Amino acid sequence: MNNQEHIDKMTEEALNSVDGVQRATAKPYLFTRLTARMERPTESAWENAGRFIARPVVVVAGLCTVIAINALIIVFNNNNTSSSNNTVAEQQATPDEFSNTVATLYDIENNNEP
């Protein structure tokens, strides 16, 4: 009996919980906005482009392309820098005729002290 009374009590509480419920109302001009959107003949080019770019396949392909280009640049620059380092070392090994001449602001040529 106790179990049946508990079930009846819960049923009454559930039925009484909807006593103060009112009908839901939509925001103003919702119907107008919906009909205007449905009656619009075509989508703009920007909407089509945005929809295409937002696809996961396009995003992943773009990221893979950027990563591949970066990797190629790094690989080819490493090959070129090793040969350019040799030429720089050869250029530094040659004698420079101006290497002994250093012009500074602190050189005093005429020191006339009394």
User: pLDDT digits over 96-114, tens only?
Assistant: 555 555 556 665 666 565 5
Structural tokens at position 20: 């103060």
Question: What is the percent of the chain where pLDDT is above 90?
Answer: 25
For residue range 28-45, what is the model confidence (pLDDT) as tens digits?
889 898 898 888 877 788
Most confident of 12-21, 64-73, 77-86: 64-73
Structural tokens at position 90: 């050869």
What residue ranges do the domains of the chain occupy? 49-81
Q: Write down the pLDDT at residue 61.
A: 96
Say what the pTM is: 0.37
Residue 88 has pLDDT above 60, yes or no: no
| 56-93 vs 45-53: helix crossing angle, rounded to 10 | 70
Mean pLDDT of 59-85: 85
CA 34 to CA 38: how far, in whole Å?
6
Mean pLDDT of 62-79: 92
